Amino acid sequence: MFKQYIVKKLSLLSLVLVIAAACQQEEIDDITKVDPGEDQAAPEVEITSPGDDTDFQTTTETVMINIAFEATDDIEITEISVDLNGEELEFYDEFTDYRIVDKEVPYELSDGEYTLTVTVTDIAGNTTSETINFSKETVPYVPQFDGEAFYMNLNGGYADLISNREITAVGEPGFAGEAQIGSNAYAGNTDSYLTAPVEGLTSLTFSATFWYKLDADQEKAGIITASALQNPENPEGPQNLRTSGFRFFREGTDVFKLNIGNGSAEAWNDPGSSNISSGEWTHIAFTISETETVIYFNGEAINTSTLDAPMSWEGVDLISIMSGAPGFTEWGHLSDLSYMDDLRFFNKALTAEEVNEVMGYTEE
Query: Domain end: 97, 119, 138, which one?
Result: 138
Q: What is the pLDDT of residues 114-161, one digit of tens each?
A: 999 999 999 999 999 999 999 999 888 889 999 999 999 998 788 899
Domain match, 153 and 273 both: yes
As a whole number of angstroms, the distance between CA 299 and CA 312 comes to: 27
Mean pLDDT of 333-358: 97
**Would residue 340 count as lying in a domain?**
yes
For the chain, the domain total comes to 2
Which residues does 255 contact at the CB level (< 8 Å), separation at least 6?
272, 273, 274
Mean pLDDT of 196-212: 96
**Would residue 13 count as lying in a domain?**
no
**Would residue 118 count as lying in a domain?**
yes
Report the CATH number at residue 304: 2.60.120.200
Domain match, 334 and 195 both: yes
Q: Would the pLDDT of 264 be above 90?
A: yes
Domain match, 283 and 201 both: yes
Domain match, 101 and 240 both: no
User: Which pLDDT belongs to residue 38?
Assistant: 64
Q: Which of 49-58, 74-83, 168-177, 336-345 has the lowest mean pLDDT?
A: 49-58
- Domain around 294: 148-362
**Would residue 143 count as lying in a domain?**
no
In degrees and rounded to multiples of 5, residue 49 shows phi and psi of -160, 135
**Would residue 66 count as lying in a domain?**
yes
Report the CATH number at residue 90: 2.60.40.10
**Would residue 21 count as lying in a domain?**
no
Domain match, 82 and 224 both: no
Q: Which of 228-242, 261-275, 349-363 has the lowest mean pLDDT?
A: 228-242
DSSP-based helix, strand, coil % in the chain, nearest 5 = 10, 45, 50
Domain match, 52 and 164 both: no
Query: Domain end: 108, 138, 168, which one?
Result: 138
As a whole number of angstroms, the distance between CA 267 and CA 355 comes to: 22
User: Which pLDDT belongs to residue 141?
Assistant: 86
Is pLDDT larger for residue 33 or for residue 303?
A: 303
**Would residue 49 count as lying in a domain?**
yes
Mean pLDDT of 265-274: 91
Domain match, 168 and 310 both: yes
Domain match, 108 and 190 both: no
Most distant CA pair in the chain, distance: 98
As a whole number of angstroms, the distance between CA 138 and CA 220 comes to: 37
**Would residue 130 count as lying in a domain?**
yes
Query: Domain end: 73, 106, 138, which one?
Result: 138
Domain match, 61 and 161 both: no
Class of residue 127 by CB neighbours under 10 A (exposed 0-12, middle 13-18, buried 19+): middle
The chain-wide mean pLDDT, for the chain, equals 88
User: Which pLDDT belongs to residue 216?
Assistant: 86
Domain match, 312 and 254 both: yes
Give pairs for 29-36: CB < 8 Å, separation 24+: 36/75
User: Which pLDDT belongs to residue 109?
Assistant: 94
Domain match, 74 and 94 both: yes
User: Which pLDDT belongs to residue 124?
Assistant: 94
Q: What is the pLDDT of residues 11-67, one digit of tens each?
A: 444 444 444 454 444 444 454 444 455 667 899 999 998 989 888 888 778 888 889
Domain match, 82 and 111 both: yes
